[in-house]
Amino acid sequence: MSVKTQESQFAKDVHLGLTSTPKTLSSKYFYDQAGDKLFQSIMAMPEYYLTDCEFEIFNTQAEDILNEIAPNRRPFNLIELGAGDGSKTRVLLRHFLKSGVDFTYCPVDISAHILEELESALKDEMPDLQVELLAGDYFELLNERIGKFEGRNVFLFLGSTLGNYNEVKAQEFLSKLRAGMRPEDQLLMGVDLKKDPSVILRAYNDSHGITKEFNINLLRRINQELGADFDERFWKHCPNYDPQSGEARSYLVSTKPQKVYIEATDRSYSFEAWEEVHTEISKKYSLSQLERLGQESGFKVIKHFLDCKHYFVDTLWRPV
């Protein structure tokens, strides 16, 4: 997809989100260069336990994971959807390289900037690693490129990115992915589990305001790329967590009645005082809910890899 098409898709999605009821902005647009940096800061926060948990799983169970995904050390393509900076994946990559298994790492991300950063880190750290970078939307790339790869594919979908979809959308995502998989392919997915709600809420509402900056940065991006005049002084970051749905939701709330003009759509959008714009969902699952989701999307669980607190799971699935 060309940069121009991506821009106009961004404008279309923002227009659609701000004219729908209730108003929304898609979380996939968080990740411009500043958003990538902010997300890296979030991952480094002590409150954002998800990163530490997934690091622990990979640091302590990489050999078990390899034994499941490459029995008899069969070669494979390791395709990471939404790879980001690949910081946790590098633990697996180092272990797989050391074991001598034949694989190609294919990180996919919509942020070309974060992929460049990942590429240069991999060249420095693991010059022998075979890498094929794929910049763009993972669904488009699944159809256009990944479906044509030769050999067995092992998909990674880490960091609880599945949680950015509600349950209906998660099933749609998994069913689409399942449709592009061959019988011998596998999926290793990092999923955040239900736990003490106060632990969860702190991860999306830290005391240093990094999660707030991440949310507000979406308005800055719309200002910069689409020529809008959002005034961030009149927007508040409001996260909440509902233990029943397992959804941590982030909102931007307008603190006064206001109109915002967006040059790219040539339209003004009105906001009432205290009207919310939904920006992100981070859904948490119980293991049984996750297993049901797998069944309903055409997968069978091979094995769960859990951290010691049972806060997080990397779950390995195969298509049925």
From residue 159, alpha-carbon distances to 52, 86, 253 in Å are 10, 10, 27
**Interface map 86-105 toward ligand SAM (x if CB under 6 A):** --x-----------------
Q: Quick one: 248 or 260, whose CB is closer to ligand SAM?
A: 248
**Which one of 61, 77, 111, 250 is in contact with ligand SAM (CB under 6 A)?**
111
Q: Which two tokens stand for residue 59?
A: 């640091």
On whether the CB atoms of residues 16 and 262 are closer than 8 A, the answer is no
* DSSP summary character for residue 145: T
Identity of the residue, 44 or 320, whose beta carbon is nearer to ligand SAM in the bound complex? 44
The residues near 219 (Cβ < 8 Å, ≥ 6 apart) are 228, 230, 232, 235, 252
Q: Is the peptide bond before 22 cis (omega within 30 degrees of 0)?
A: yes
Among residues 13, 68, 137, 167, which is the contact residue for ligand SAM, using CB under 6 A?
Answer: 137
Asked if 174 is part of the footprint of ligand SAM (rule: CB under 6 A), the reply reads no
Minimum CB distance to ligand SAM, residue 271 (Å): 26
Distance in angstroms (rounded) separating the CA atoms of residues 32 and 214: 10
Output the smallest distance, CB 42 to ligand SAM, in A.
9
Handedness of CA 51, 189, 100, 63 (dihedral sign): positive
* Least distance (Å) between residue 193 CB and ligand SAM: 15
14 lines the binding site for ligand SAM (CB under 6 A): no
Minimum distance from CB of 59 to ligand SAM (Å)?
15
Q: Which is nearer to ligand SAM, 9 or 255 (CB)?
A: 9
Regarding 110 and contact with ligand SAM (CB under 6 A), the answer is yes
Contact between 17 and ligand SAM by CB under 6 A: the answer reads no
What is the smallest separation between the CB atom of 136 and ligand SAM, expressed in angstroms? 7
Between vectors from CA 85 to CA 140 and to CA 190, what angle results, nearest 5°?
75
Between strands 134-135 and 103-109, the pairing is: parallel
Cβ atoms of 126 and 97 within 8 Å: the answer is yes
The yes or no reply on residue 53 touching ligand SAM (CB under 6 A) is no
**Among 97, 99, 116, 95, which Cα is nearest to 107's?**
116
* Kind plus residue range of the DSSP H or E element containing 12: helix 3-18
Asked whether position 31 contacts ligand SAM by CB under 6 A, the answer is yes
Residue 276 near residue 23, CB atoms below 8 Å: yes
Single residue of 158, 170, 191, 228 touching ligand SAM by CB under 6 A: 158
For residues 82 and 294, which CB has a smaller minimum distance to ligand SAM in the complex? 82
Q: With respect to ligand SAM, which residue has the nearer C-beta, 185 or 280? A: 280
How far is it, in rounded angstroms, from Cα 193 to Cα 285? 5
Q: List the one residue from 66, 69, 78, 114 that touches ligand SAM (CB under 6 A).
A: 114
Contact set with ligand SAM (CB under 6 A):
28, 31, 82-84, 88, 108-111, 114, 137-138, 158-159, 161
